[in-house]
Chains A and B, each alone.
Chain A
Amino acid sequence: MLKMRLLIVSLMLNSGLALAEVSASRQIELTHLLKQDCGSCHGMTLKGGLGPALLPEQLDGKSTDYLVMTILEGHPNTAMPGWKTMLSTDDALWIANQIKQGLD
């Protein structure tokens, strides 16, 4: 199911269609989560900490699908947890796109 959604997501990305719908208020929450909670391992400015840096140059060459999957499912045998209990696929996609572009 997740794979299916990711596939749809990649199709949408590839065909340049509108990105997933994430409401403005949810975007504020996600930005907060990204800086504060992802930030507790990756650094508040995402320059890295116990976890690796998540700046655009580090993510170059990593597909959005891969990032979405990592956010939702985590990385086995590392400290990266899956966030699917707190984040939807749309949320994860929005975050993946944010970190690929870089935060302000």
Chain B
Amino acid sequence: MIRTALISLTLLFITPTLTLAAEIRGTGDLGLVIERASGSIQIIETTNNSSLGRVEGLGDLSHASAVYSRDERYAYIFGRDGGLTKVDVLTQKIVKRTLQAGNSIGGAISQDGRLVAVSNYTPGGVKIFSSKTLELVADIPATYGDKGQTSKVIGLVDAPGQKFVFSLWDADEIWIADMSKPDKPQIQKFNDIGRNPYDALISPDGRYYIAGLFGEDGMALLDLWHLDAGVKRILNNYGKGEQKLPVYKMPHLEGWAMAGTHAFVPAVGRHEVLVIDTQTWTEAGRIKVHGQPIFVMARPDGRNVWVNFAIPNNDTLQVIDTESLKIIKTLQPGKGVLHMEFEPRGEQVWASIRDDDQLVIYDTDTFEEQLRLPANKPSGIFSTARAHKTGL
């Protein structure tokens, strides 16, 4: 009798839950696509390649990026207007949203997943929030010089040891914020790293932080295992004495396009992808490409690197073979190819085609087009598989 009653009670509790979550599913195959003009995101899944729905009301997403919580359920989206939005990708609802600055460029999630950091242009600096509540934990103005100016902050990434690393566009500095004690951030600064760092990346093991320089040739390398050695300038002689082309769009350094001991990065203002030998940090080659590269992204197995380009060549994607350093495929998916995202193990890649309002999916072995899906002025594509990758 008592047992029956207990069972009935249990059923009473379970039934509504089941009804609410019509289908219990994981989130490891989910992703989101920024719809930059409408301030919305689409939730996508890569098991069957489909769109699951749309979340609206995320403000100005004309430049936006996202990171994921460790459980791959929540996305933190960083918008142009300083908006930080926490979205539940499972229920497709905004959990919390805060306008934390006037103008921001990107963000990162801490090693332990408890902190979300945002890099801001206005006011220049980094703000750090609780990933659970989005309450402010630390405010780090990017102050420099003797007049108390603040710099725009770019290239913000997470690093092992509960650190955030970022660069100051106006101040030519790299800063490390150690957040081991969230209420007492420890800041370490590196000066004169090179003129106008425009973006940065960190190697997948979290050891090397590399900032690209806009104001001069070369890149700034910081070995996080040996901070005493300071910032080292690499690829210094690249492009010396040559006239740069006008740069119509800043390249992005996202993730680490790496194969064996080679890393692949966009050359600023040139129709070239640069190859770096990561043993010696010297130039190992230059690959002539179709335009000024924006994203240079390695397929997860490192065999190929995919590249998109700045206007007026932004209708094209090229694929580089990382062994021969040759272009093996040129695709023309449509106008305004803004971003690519590989499926978690790389057999397919999604690309956003802004001006055609489409997403296109390619097989990465045959390069055959698999599918097109409608999207409203799509830009960045972010899959939940990023949740467990340092720097993404």
Contact = CB atoms under 8 A, between A and B. Distances in A.
Q: Is this pair of chains taken from one and the same complex? A: yes
Interface string B187-220: 0000000001010000000000000001100000
Interface in B25-67: 36-37, 60, 62-63
A86 B333 CA distance: 22
Interface in A39-62: 39-41, 43-45, 47-50
A44 B122 contact: no
B164 interface: no
A82 B81 CA distance: 27
Contacts of A74: 246
B60 A41 contact: no
B80 A44 contact: yes
Interface string B100-127: 0001010000000000000001100000
B335 to A, nearest CB: 10
Contacts of A41: 249-250
A31 interface: no
A48 B354 CA distance: 21
Contact of A49 (B63, B214, B336): B63
A47 B246 contact: no
A40 B63 contact: yes
Contacts of B154: 50
Interface in B287-338: 311-312, 336
A81 B310 CA distance: 13
B37 A81 contact: no
Contact of A37 (B103, B196, B215, B248): B248
Nearest to A73: B246
Interface residues of A, number: 23
B249 A79 contact: no
A48 B122 contact: yes
Contacts of B60: 43-45, 47
A47 B82 CA distance: 12
Contacts of A33: 311
Interface string A17-49: 000000000000000110111011101110111
A40 B311 CA distance: 11
B247 interface: yes
Contact of B80 (A36, A43, A79, A81): A43
Q: Which secondary structure characterizes the binding site on chain B?
A: loop
Nearest to A47: B103
B86 interface: no
Contact of B121 (A35, A44, A49, A81): A49
Nearest to B377: A36
Nearest to A82: B246
A10 B36 CA distance: 36
Contacts of A77: 215
A40 B247 contact: no
B312 A40 contact: no
Nearest to B154: A50
Given A49-B103, A50-B152, A40 B80 contact: no
B196 A44 contact: no
Contacts of A36: 336, 354-355
A12 B154 CA distance: 43
A40 B292 CA distance: 15
Contacts of A86: 311-312
A40 B249 contact: yes
18 contacts: A36-B336, A37-B311, A41-B249, A41-B250, A43-B80, A44-B37, A44-B63, A44-B80, A47-B60, A47-B81, A50-B121, A74-B246, A79-B196, A79-B198, A79-B250, A82-B246, A83-B246, A85-B246
Shortest 9 CB-CB distances between A and B: which pairs?
A81-B246, A44-B62, A40-B249, A37-B311, A82-B246, A81-B247, A81-B248, A43-B80, A39-B62
Interface of A: 32-33, 35-37, 39-41, 43-45, 47-50, 74, 77, 79, 81-83, 85-86
